[in-house]
């Protein structure tokens, strides 16, 4: 489980839930392009160590968002602090993404 309180680090913690998954799609995304994964879909991203990639999660509203992360049942609790993005930066990135996906 990932708890994402506003302006706080993500907290990744075990929840004791067993989830069975299967692969339903495999895709290779060319460099410089964009792709979309709907909310709530488990996914695994394999990125070569010499390649830069960015993930942008767009959500509406404030408050706590919880997501499931597939991990080893023995994984410890850990935290991750996401970079802060200002309103104007967010608007600029969304515009660039919209323009790029329409091209």
pLDDT, tens digit, for every residue of 35-79? 888 777 888 888 888 877 777 777 666 555 567 777 776 777 777
Q: What percent of the chain has pLDDT over 90?
A: 0
pTM of the model: 0.49
State the pLDDT at residue 3.
57
The number of CA neighbours under 13 Å toward the Cβ of 102 is 6
State the pLDDT at residue 4.
59
For residue 98, report the phi and psi dihedrals to the nearest 5 degrees: -60, -45
Whether the CB-CB separation of 32 and 95 falls below 8 Å is answered with no
Domain spans in the chain, listed from the N-terminal domain onward: 1-103
State the pLDDT at residue 1.
56
User: What is the 3-state secondary structure of 19-31?
Assistant: CCCCCCCCCCCCC
């Amino acid at each position: 489980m990932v708890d994402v309180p506003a302006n706080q680090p993500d907290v990744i913690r075990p929840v004791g839930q067993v989830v069975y998954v299967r692969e339903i799609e495999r895709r290779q995304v060319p460099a410089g392009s964009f792709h979309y994964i709907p909310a709530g879909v488990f996914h695994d991203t394999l990125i070569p160590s010499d390649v830069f990639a960015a993930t942008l999660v767009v959500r509406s509203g404030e408050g706590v968002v919880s997501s499931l992360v597939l991990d080893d049942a023995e994984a410890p609790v850990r935290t991750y602090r996401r970079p802060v993005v200002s309103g104007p930066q967010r608007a600029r990135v969304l515009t660039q993404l919209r323009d790029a996906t329409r091209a």
